[in-house]
């Protein structure tokens, strides 16, 4: 399998870390949707990261759908990142949803400030998205404080991975909007998981995953 996209994307990084923990071998090509648009379009005409090229050449996109496929592959090896009981699965889906919402709103703010000319930025919309992002992180902080997530590679779950990459992403990109001092539980959790081998092998930035 071939994973396409930059590791400065929380969605690409989410897939790269999850594939490792699931024990699924893959190659990674760091292609930017901005600086290498034509190269990306040659692989996936939609130009959407992450893109996964399966072993048979099928092209998948959207991190959650890619990971659904990965889970299906890993089942043959008895591996999964999701709980099997309904109550535990419900709790993890709540955490994953909050993490993905935090990522979505963070990315919207980055695009608004970084790509749209200042005179065309709509401050009421920026304030609304900022509020949504902070609400997502506040709820995530409460969830992790209430129910500790695993911090070892052997016990890693999708809820833990998504929480870890969401927090690390916003601290790399928008630390002034989401001060670590307000989210002590997430900060402590992130420090622990970022030290794990699957996270270190796919660090946030412009590099390439190294097995």
Supply the Cα-derived Rg of the chain in whole angstroms: 17
Residue 210: per-residue pLDDT: 86
CATH topology match: 2-80 vs 86-198: no
Q: For residue 114, is pLDDT > 90?
A: no
Q: For residue 76, is pLDDT > 90?
A: no
Give per-residue pLDDT as tens, 77-87.
Answer: 899 999 999 99
Q: What value does the mean pLDDT take over residues 23-28? A: 98
Name the residue ranges covered by the structural domains of the chain: 2-80, 86-198
Give per-residue pLDDT as tens, 159-184.
Answer: 999 999 999 999 999 999 999 999 99
Mean pLDDT of the chain: 95
Q: For residue 40, is pLDDT > 80?
A: yes
Give per-residue pLDDT as tens, 115-162.
Answer: 777 767 778 888 999 999 999 999 999 999 999 999 999 999 999 999
* Residue range 2-80, CATH number: 3.40.30.10
Q: Grade residue 113 by pLDDT with cuts at 50, 70 and 90.
A: confident
Give per-residue pLDDT as tens, 42-52.
Answer: 999 999 999 99
Residue written as token pair 């959790």: 189
3-state secondary structure of 2: strand
Residue written as token pair 């496929």: 69
Cβ distance 105 to 133 under 8 Å?
yes
Q: What pTM was computed for the model?
A: 0.95
Q: Grade residue 14 by pLDDT with cuts at 50, 70 and 90.
A: very high
Q: Check if CATH label 3.30.420.10 holds for domain 86-198.
A: no
Cβ distance 109 to 133 under 8 Å?
yes
Q: For residue 207, is pLDDT > 90?
A: yes
Residue 200: per-residue pLDDT: 97
Helices and strands in the chain: count of H runs, count of E runs: 8, 4
Give per-residue pLDDT as tens, 183-199.
Answer: 999 999 999 999 999 99
Residue 201: per-residue pLDDT: 98
Q: What value does the mean pLDDT take over residues 12-20? A: 98
Nearest to 59 by CA among 40, 73, 34: 40
Dihedral sign, CA of 68, 72, 74, 80?
Answer: positive
């Amino acid at each position: 399998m071939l994973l396409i996209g930059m590791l400065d994307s929380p969605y690409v990084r989410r897939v790269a870390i999850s594939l490792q923990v699931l024990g699924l071998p893959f190659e990674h090509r760091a292609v930017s949707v901005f600086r290498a648009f034509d190269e990306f379009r040659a692989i996936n005409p939609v130009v959407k990261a992450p893109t996964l090229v399966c072993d048979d050449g099928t092209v998948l996109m959207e991190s959650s759908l890619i990971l659904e496929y990965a889970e299906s592959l890993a089942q043959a090896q008895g591996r999964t990142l999701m709980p099997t009981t309904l109550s535990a699965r419900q709790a993890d889906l709540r955490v994953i949803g909050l993490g993905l919402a935090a990522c979505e709103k963070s990315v919207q703010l980055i695009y608004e400030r970084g790509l749209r000319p200042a005179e065309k930025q709509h401050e009421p919309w920026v304030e609304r998205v900022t509020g949504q992002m902070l609400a997502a992180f506040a709820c995530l902080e409460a969830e992790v404080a209430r129910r500790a997530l695993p911090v070892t590679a052997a016990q890693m779950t999708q809820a833990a991975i998504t929480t870890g990459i969401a927090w690390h992403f916003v601290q790399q990109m928008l630390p002034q909007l989401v001060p670590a001092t307000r989210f002590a539980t997430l900060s402590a959790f992130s420090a622990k998981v970022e030290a794990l081998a699957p996270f270190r092998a796919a660090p946030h930035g412009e590099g390439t995953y190294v097995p």
